[in-house]
């Protein structure tokens, strides 16, 4: 697994940041179903990964080299939906899938403290918040 998260003390507690490699692992985990297909989405190209994890696209190869060295990722040229040329795409290895799933489980177990407008502090599980966000998005879509 990539190195531990960097933490920073803040007024409200500890702020945890994922490393770029951790963000990439989680992003590729959500796209691992394309590993065996002939055509791939734009999201697993250098540009797509950069947009997803909010880094410049020219920083992606360096991060990928480190993940490939750790045997978490492999690259191949794939046809991209809607494009004429093949592009370099990135996929998780079996070991990378395991590492990304472990990271996701760790994150979903985090406890999050939220301060309400009335000053009350709520302690919630991150997985619970993710489910709420998902329900909120579904609710917005159903109102359209």
Tell me if residue 32 falls in helix, strand or coil.
helix
What is the pLDDT, as a whole number, of residue 138? 44
Residues contacting residue 32 through CB under 8 Å, at least 6 positions apart: 91, 92, 97
Kindly report the pTM of this predicted structure: 0.75
What is the pLDDT, as a whole number, of residue 66? 96
For the record, the structure tokens of 80 come out as 């991209």
- Give whole-number Cα distances, 97 to 4, 79, 83, in Å: 18, 23, 27
What is the pLDDT, as a whole number, of residue 7? 54
Cα separation of 112 and 81, whole Å? 38
**Residues found in the chain:** 144
What is the pLDDT, as a whole number, of residue 139? 44
pLDDT in tens, the chain (144 residues): 444 445 555 555 566 788 999 999 999 998 888 887 778 889 999 999 999 999 998 899 999 999 999 999 999 998 898 888 889 999 999 999 999 999 988 888 888 787 778 888 888 777 777 777 555 444 444 444
Tell me which CATH code domain 6-108 carries: 1.10.10.10
What is the pLDDT, as a whole number, of residue 75? 93
Which among 8, 28, 42, 50 is positioned nearest to 103, based on CA atoms? 28
For the record, the structure tokens of 70 come out as 């750790």
């Amino acid at each position: 697994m990539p190195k531990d998260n960097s933490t920073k003390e803040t007024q409200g507690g500890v702020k945890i940041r994922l490393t770029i490699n951790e963000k990439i692992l989680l992003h590729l985990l959500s796209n691992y179903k394309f590993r065996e297909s002939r055509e791939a989405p734009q999201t697993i190209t250098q540009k797509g990964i950069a947009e997803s994890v909010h880094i410049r696209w020219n920083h992606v190869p360096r991060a990928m080299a480190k993940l490939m060295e750790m045997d978490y990722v492999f690259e191949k040229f794939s046809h991209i939906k809607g494009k004429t040329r093949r592009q370099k795409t990135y996929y998780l290895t079996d070991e990378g899938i395991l590492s990304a799933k472990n990271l996701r489980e760790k994150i979903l177990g985090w406890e999050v403290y939220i301060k309400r407008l009335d000053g009350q502090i709520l302690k919630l599980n991150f997985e619970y918040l993710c489910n709420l966000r998902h329900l909120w998005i579904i609710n917005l879509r159903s109102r359209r």
